[in-house]
Structure 1
Amino acid sequence: MYKLLTPHINSYELLDSGNFEKLERFGDFILARPEPQAVWDKSLSEDIWQKKASAIFRKTKGRDQLSPEERGEWHNLKKMPEKWFMNYIQNDINLKFKLSLSSFKHVGIFPEQAANWQFIEEKLSMMNASGNLQEKPKVLNLFAYTGGASLISKACGADVTHVDAVKQVISWSRENMEASNLTDIRWVVEDALKFVKREVKRGKKYNGIILDPPAYGRGPDGEKWVLEEGINELLKNCLALLDEQNHFFILNLYSMGFSAIIAETIINQNFQEVKKSEMGELVLQDSFNKKLPLGVFYRFSSH
């Protein structure tokens, strides 16, 4: 089933989009930053964007093959703190995310992922209620960034392993865990493919696996990651780690032009237990009802 997922977070708003930019509220602050898929016109005038924005990101360098992020700098129009916290409240879950202005235009959270967080909460709640597990559900979060999916999984009672190649990002995730009054997430600074291949050799199994691979990247020891070259091997190893009876699986793909059908084909070829599957686009809708696509997803679960 092809779906458009448009999550809602009280502390976040996409106020406007267009002319290759987006205007967003994160908690108490409004930011303007580049968005290559916002090819339409802005609904608000440039003057209103300038008045509303606490800070605006301007590109200073181009991309290269293994540094695809847009580098630049933030111009503060209003006094902003070095960091601030944004709340995420959903049902009985109450989390806090530290946000900060980075030279890669990111701030520490991808709000469109809230649609997947709600899926994780639903699936873990079903596992916990089923009585089929002898212990806590085990969740593996790969390319885990600042840990939104890790925190949601932990708050739902899972035993969580969080893997990312960047040590500073792991530290950021730990701050989010502590601010959210959670404990005992397992942190792993390692290349994702190396980690899952080792886990397969050890015979490990996980009830939930979340993958958010970039188009390009480097592991902690300089390992090169190129999405189209590595995705087949990575998915095959991840599927070998998935518990056959009680599971959920989420794959996000941010690379422009990369189809979720590719993921569906690889997964169906290598995992015979696919039952409830869905794919589509992660979408944020601005205040003027313009829909901004922010990546494709493929996910499935045993229940």
Structure 2
Amino acid sequence: MKNKERRPGPKRTAGTAGKPAHGGAPKHKNTSPRQESRPARSATGGEARSVTRAAEAPEAEQRPLIVRTGERPPERVPVILESTGAGDFHLIDSGNGEKLEQYGPYRIVRPEAQALWPKGLPAHVWEKADAIFTGDTDEDGMGRWRFPREALGETWPLSLLGIDFLGRLTSFRHVGVFPEQIVHWSWVKQQVEAAGRPLKVLNLFGYTGVASLVAAAAGAEVTHVDASKKAIGWARENQSLGRLDKLPIRWICEDAMKFIQREERRGNRYDIILTDPPKFGRGPNGEVWHLFEHLPLMLDICREILSPKAHGLVLTAYSIRASFYSIHELMRETMRGRGGVVESGELVIREAGLDGKTPGRALSTSLFSRWVPK
């Protein structure tokens, strides 16, 4: 099907149409810390034994936004989705622009601009960290890891929600997983287990694949999409580590926008879509993604590829100077006439102390908006 062909549908109008995306890639792509290597999910589900990468082709023509009519879905705001850690992770302490986290056997210190308050634990606790990220403190900056006691390996085993995967020290300060997302992963797991049928889940900007593995282990047919070949490789490593090679996951290395536009033309549909885009990223063929410029079209297409009995569309946004209301109102406009409800707010992680059980202050990590049927 040629790029300029259009599937029948509601009236369309010119709108923001950007180049394709990650998300982690995010996302994430190699130019974005949040999306150093995030995969984009495929549309068909089924067992996958190798990475699928689309052949290089001219950039797809961007279709205009659809003119949405009907009532905007009712809203639930603000919704604060809080976690205190799970499995091998918890936030020990934070303050003075840093956070001290426990990832399995290791204590790690990383920059955290939103930790404006003083540190709660004494200096000698922080000084016992196994790894400290140094260098550029901007979210998009690169740096290096310092090991106060002994050098650590690049990877180590971790577990969340019963899924085994590898923690990984990267030059963008990330560690191979975004644990605040566990609230979304738990929601997906519950939806899949209670559905009574295999749900089709699309994970855009899927990064190292923990969300995809959680969904597939619960019984979903998962399509995982990320523009970074390296991230897809990490995701496949995690799948093998957990002895989950037979799960129905398709790993797709492709620009997220190109992928969902093709799925729309093909008429493929998903019951749950997770999308976790970076604020900036590049696709495998140099496609450029800017969050504020391209997000409206991405959500518009995601609505079109939701199944008639969809369970939800989840958007998470990091590293942007915006209120959650910006993505909340965009989601409500996108879902006009579809019914359901839009709930939006922030994801936060609460400090849990050295023992992982002592509640402390809440650290905001990201914005989110989620459409669900009533």
Same fold (TM over 0.5): yes
1:112-191 matches, within 5 Å, as: 112-128=180-196, 133=197, 136-183=198-245, 184-191=248-255
Which residue matches 2:144? Answer: 73
Superposed CA offset, 1:117-139 (max 9, x none): 111011112222xxxx5xx2111
State the secondary structure of the residue aligned to 2:110.
Answer: strand
The higher-RCO structure (CA 8 Å, 6+ apart) is: 2
| Residue number among 303, 308, 325 corresponding to 1:261 in the alignment | 325
Give runs of ≥4 in structure 1 deviating > 3 Å. Answer: none
Are the aligned partners of 2:328 and 2:343 in contact in 1 as well (CA < 8 Å)?
Answer: no
Matches of 1:78 and 1:100, distance apart in 2 = 18
Q: Confirm whether residue 292 of structure 1 aligns to residue 363 of structure 2.
A: yes
Which residue matches 1:45? Answer: 122
Which residue matches 1:86? Answer: 158
TM-score (norm: length of structure 1): 0.90
Which residue matches 2:174? Answer: 106
**1:147, distance to aligned residue in structure 2 (A):** 1.2
Q: Write the letter of the residue equivalent to 1:119.
A: W
Are the aligned partners of 2:331 and 2:369 in contact in 1 as well (CA < 8 Å)?
Answer: no
TM-score (norm: length of structure 2): 0.73
Matches of 1:227 and 1:277, distance apart in 2 = 20
**1:38, distance to aligned residue in structure 2 (A):** 0.8
Are the aligned partners of 2:131 and 2:147 in contact in 1 as well (CA < 8 Å)?
Answer: yes
Structure 1, unpaired ranges of 5+? none
State the secondary structure of the residue aligned to 1:289.
Answer: coil
Q: Confirm whether residue 15 of structure 1 aligns to residue 92 of structure 2.
A: yes
| Residue number among 263, 268, 289 corresponding to 1:204 in the alignment | 268
State the secondary structure of the residue aligned to 2:127.
Answer: helix
Are the aligned partners of 1:268 and 1:274 in contact in 2 as well (CA < 8 Å)?
Answer: no
How large is the RMSD of aligned CA atoms in angstroms?
A: 1.6
Which residue matches 1:195? Answer: 259
Identity within the alignment, % = 39
| Residue number among 262, 287, 291 corresponding to 1:223 in the alignment | 287
Superposed CA offset, 1:183-242 (max 9, x none): 341011111111111110111100010000011111111111110000001000011000
Are the aligned partners of 2:81 and 2:346 in contact in 1 as well (CA < 8 Å)?
Answer: yes
Are the aligned partners of 1:252 and 1:295 in contact in 2 as well (CA < 8 Å)?
Answer: yes
Matches of 1:274 and 1:300, distance apart in 2 = 9
Matches of 2:157 and 2:163, distance apart in 1 = 10
The range that moved more, 266-275 or 209-218, is: 266-275
Structure 2, unpaired ranges of 5+? 1-75, 354-358
1:200 and 1:86, CA in 2 relative to 1: closer, same or farther beyond 3 A? same
Which residue matches 2:67? Answer: none
State the secondary structure of the residue aligned to 1:209.
Answer: strand
